[in-house]
Amino acid sequence: MKKDFQDIPIPKELDRVVEESMAQVYREHKRKRFRKLVTGCTATAAVFAGGFLFLAANPAMAAKLPLIGHVFETMQDHFGYQGDFDSVATVLAETETDAAVTEIESNTETANGADSLISETDVQAVNAEETGNGTDAGTEKATDGTASDYAVPAEYSRTADGLTFTLSEIYCNDQALYVSFVMEADEPFPEKTPSFSIMTTETYSFNPTMINGSLNLEGDLLDDSTYAGMFRIDLNQKVYNYEKYDQAREEALANGEEWDDTITLDTLDKYVETAEIPDSFTLDLSLDQIIGYFTTPDLPERSKTAEEESAMSDEEWHDYMIDWYAQYPELSKYPNSYEHFWYDGPWHFTLNVTKNPSGTQTIELNETNEQGIGIEKIVKTPFEITLYDTYPDTVHSYDYYAAILDADGNLLSSGSGGPTNTVAINGADVSTVDIFICDYMQWMDELKGQYWTAPGGNKNLADGQTFKDLLMENCVFHTEVSLEE
């Protein structure tokens, strides 16, 4: 039984569609700030569209980009999670020199019937061809920097629906797998500043459960039909083994018993095991659908003015949106032609992954307040900090928000597409971090806005106190942690 952990649900009932797609917007409506938003997908597209445009603004750089094998090197300072990925990543291709030498070795062995070594002359010839100094005009390599110096094995490049998706490099630590890529369409993308997500099917060698998920892409256009960037897979979301759950479900249905497919905390405790992620594993990754988001969706007009909508009660707004969805049923679909353009796959890849433990530090804390709210541990890698919070059975974790401040008192933000309990380091001083757990609604309504709107530096608020002081006064839990540099 496949488990849909991250995919966007598309229920049949229209009312459920509205409730689920508008869930995030509803909270903003109660604060009278949500009228400009229409659906959860639209809000997501707006977040995606906040990516970097440095290559689009510098076509000369884009033209000279040697794509495959160099995506991290060129773009890593502009991702949501920044850092020297190129120094730790593995290139999913061999250099053209290596490929040519391998071919010569193979041909020589075949011709001689023995394990003969290639001659120095052969190697020199290959090297000359690699640097563009060969005399054969038919094999001379371009010297203007437009060509990649890596040859892509076929298993890392797939084409479907007029779009070729090529994997470039990978890096894996204890928390996440980062993959860089180049995506080339036969026709220009219909959006000048597109953002993308991907619906996936994932199978990990350490977990027999097949996972339906989604990935957010970070990157930018190199030309009107080529997009390069990276995606991040949070491994903490891939460890749940549902074999016991599947067995119990099948037995119940076979005995004519009712079975509730809703996954609750009780279900997780009773039936679901947590797999250990080994140092090396295999990932079968199917990119099932690549979805692009229009920066300005061409949504159908609604019957009321913005002023009239703003004056509605919550109940009136709900009924109003139900009628709107009923009038335009395609809006209940994901993707839909109003907000998205898309390509149907699959693009299938098999990755042999080895974790790189360098720079990873785990701090066991096991600290809680009197109510049992606190932090079990934090894990720091060269690119992110992940905290593992803990709550008693009497409260819900989604009623709280964990904020992390660096040594200078600046708020660390989650990288693009990352979970809220993981923050990007991005060059910040994290020799010491302060962790605060706050009431979620208070964080959203009162606290975080003071940081982003503070004059003269975000950590210094308008009333003269620091953001750290503000959180100390309002949090339900706080701890300070020293980390190794």
pLDDT in tens, 287-314: 999 999 999 999 999 999 999 999 999 9
pTM (global) more than 0.85: no
Q: What is the pLDDT of residue 120?
A: 39
* Least reliable range by pLDDT among 53-62, 251-260, 397-406: 53-62
Q: Is the pLDDT of residue 316 over 60?
A: yes
The type of residue at 146 is: T
CA distance 103 to 82: 37
* Least reliable range by pLDDT among 102-106, 342-346, 461-465: 102-106
CB 160 within 8 A of CB 344: yes
Average of per-residue pLDDT across 455-463? 70
Q: What is the pLDDT of residue 192?
A: 87
pLDDT in tens, 179-214: 999 999 999 999 888 899 999 999 999 999 899 999
pLDDT grade for 246, boundaries at 50, 70 and 90: confident
